[in-house]
Each structure stands twice: as C-alpha cells, then as structure tokens.
C-alpha cells in the first residue's frame, strides 16, 4: 500500500496564504490587535475581516472587541484548537519541504 | 490540496512564519523600553529617598510626586502603543513586575517607616532595578531570536 502524500493532510482552511499568514502572526502572539495583524500581513481591512471570519467559523481564532479610551479595538488570538491545527499544519509543510527536497 | 505541493512552495509558505515571528518580536520591544524606564525611575526615587532627611515630610512628598509623574509618562505612552503581546509574555512580564513591586514596596515601606537611611535605601535602589532590567533583557533576547 502506497503512503498518502502529506499534502492530503494539509488543512485547507489554514493553507490559503492570507489565512496562513494571519495564523502565523497569532501563533507567535498571546493576542494581537486587528490593525497590527493587518499591517504585518499587508492586507486590506476587508480582506483581513473575511479571513478572520473564516478562521473564527472554523474555531481557530477568537475575536474580542473592546475600547481603549474612545477608540474601538479588535483583538485576535488563536484558540487552543487553532494553535494545535496550525502546529500540525506547519509540521506537514516541514515534512513536505524536507522530504521532497531530499528526493528531488 | 488539488496539486502537488513542491518543497519550494512549502518552504516559501513556512518563510511567512519566520517573517511573522520577526514582526511580533520587533513590536514587543516597547515592553522592554517601558521596563527600563520604570527601573530607572524607581531606582532613582529610592536613591533620592536615601538622600532626604527622614524627619521632614515635604521633600519626601515632592520627590514622590515627581516620581509618580515620571512613571506616568512611560506608562501612558505604553498603553496605546501595545498592539501585540508575544507568546509567553504575560508570565514573564507578570513575574518581572511582581518582583519589582515586592522589592520596591519593601524598600519604600521599611525605608520610610523605620527611617533606615542611605545604608538601607541605596543598596535597595540598585535591587529595585534588577527585576525589570532582567525582564527587559529577556524580552530583548527573545526578540533577537525572532
């Protein structure tokens, strides 16, 4: 029996480039402001909102809305499920990068 | 995945993770700057208390007011500029500020209540700075690893 290629185990919710970037930022953070994530991943507000909604629906990202003084602030963080899914996704990517590069 | 993901594509995707780590680390340097500001202010305050005559309240009050004003500046600056907390930050920052609060509290409470003078307050001025400076050092070290 032939082993299934690791790409089949990649999470399609995370694999989309913008969503992967968002999760990568949040994976390094306890919590990050929407604006910080937007600037870091170089996305528009609407593109990031859409990406965050998808990740939130998947249960990967928690969204917290609040205020600092008069100004609204949206803060994002990875859920436990999201962190675990991201770690697994990264491990699969590493195996693809490593395995394929070794075998050409 | 509909197509074969090449090693190069996987590596390129993984590189986004390194960029994210670097961005978070760079943004979190604010905490280290705040810690150094607080360490300096509190150390000088405790040192100044050792210079003042313990039986005169007015200079102590004036020094305390100056200290609070000085401390308020970096704190007011920090809060609106905090956009991200790096992973593991809360525990590290909590330990550093908790230890600072304990040493600072002991220095000021004992120094003033028992009029202990420079022999107690000046070494404590150095001790007060240590927790926050260690915290800032660890923060910057982690940022360097980013």
ipTM rounded to 2 decimals? 0.78
Residue B44 reports pLDDT greater than 80: yes
Residue A101 reports pLDDT greater than 70: no
Structure confidence at residue A104 (pLDDT):
36
Structure confidence at residue A25 (pLDDT):
95
| Percent of chain B clearing pLDDT 70 (strictly above) | 95
A-interface mutation test, from B83, B90, B93, most A Cβ less than 10 A away: B83
Cα–Cα distance measured from residue A8 to residue A89, given in angstroms and rounded to the nearest whole number:
11
- Cβ-Cβ contacts under 8 Å for A13 (sequence gap 6 or more): A19, A54, A55, A58, A60, A85
CB contact under 8 A, B83 and A35: yes
Structure confidence at residue B144 (pLDDT):
66
CA distance to partner chain B, nearest, from residue A85 (Å): 14
A18 in contact with chain B, both atoms CB, cutoff 8 A: no
What is the tens place of the pLDDT at every residue in B45-100? Answer: 999 999 888 778 888 899 999 999 888 877 887 777 778 888 888 888 889 999 99
The runs of H, that is alpha helices, within A1-104 are 12-15, 17-27, 34-41, 45-57, 80-103
What is the tens place of the pLDDT at every residue in B126-141? Answer: 999 999 999 988 888 8
**Residue that wins the pLDDT comparison between B146 and A85:** A85
B4 in contact with chain A, both atoms CB, cutoff 8 A: yes
**Residue that wins the pLDDT comparison between B85 and A14:** A14
Does the predicted TM-score (pTM) go above 0.90? Answer: no
Residue A1 reports pLDDT greater than 60: no
CA neighbor of B129 nearest in space, from B58, B62, B38: B38
Cα–Cα distance measured from residue B28 to residue B93, given in angstroms and rounded to the nearest whole number:
11
| Percent of chain A clearing pLDDT 70 (strictly above) | 91
Nearest to B84 among A36, A41, A100 (CB): A36
Which residue carries 């307050």 as its tokens? B121
What is the tens place of the pLDDT at every residue in A55-94? Answer: 999 999 999 998 877 778 899 999 999 999 999 999 999 9
A87 in contact with chain B, both atoms CB, cutoff 8 A: no
**pLDDT-based confidence at A102, cuts 50/70/90?**
very low
A68 in contact with chain B, both atoms CB, cutoff 8 A: yes
């Amino acid at each position: 029996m032939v082993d299934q290629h690791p790409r089949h185990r990649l999470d399609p919710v995370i694999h989309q480039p913008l969503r992967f970037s968002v999760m990568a930022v949040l994976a390094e953070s306890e919590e990050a402001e929407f604006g910080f994530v937007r600037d870091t991943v170089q996305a528009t507000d609407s593109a990031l909102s859409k990406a965050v909604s998808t990740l939130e629906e998947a249960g990967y990202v928690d969204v917290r809305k609040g205020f600092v003084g008069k100004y609204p602030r949206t803060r994002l963080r990875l859920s436990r499920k999201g962190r675990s899914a991201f770690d697994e996704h990264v491990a699969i990517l590493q195996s693809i990068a490593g395995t394929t590069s070794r075998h050409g | 995945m509909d197509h074969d993901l090449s090693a190069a594509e996987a590596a390129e995707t993984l590189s986004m993770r390194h960029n994210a780590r670097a961005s978070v680390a760079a943004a979190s340097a604010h905490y280290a700057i705040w810690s150094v500001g607080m360490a300096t202010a509190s150390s000088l305050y405790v040192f100044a208390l050792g210079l003042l005559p313990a039986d005169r309240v007015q200079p102590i009050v004036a020094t305390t007011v100056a200290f609070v004003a000085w401390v308020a500046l970096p704190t007011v600056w920090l809060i609106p500029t905090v956009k991200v907390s790096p992973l593991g930050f809360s525990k590290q920052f909590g330990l550093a500020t908790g230890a600072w609060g304990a040493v600072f509290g002991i220095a000021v409470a004992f120094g003033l209540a028992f009029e202990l003078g420079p022999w107690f307050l000046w070494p404590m001025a150095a001790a007060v700075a240590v927790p926050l400076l260690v915290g800032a050092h660890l923060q910057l070290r982690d940022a360097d690893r980013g």
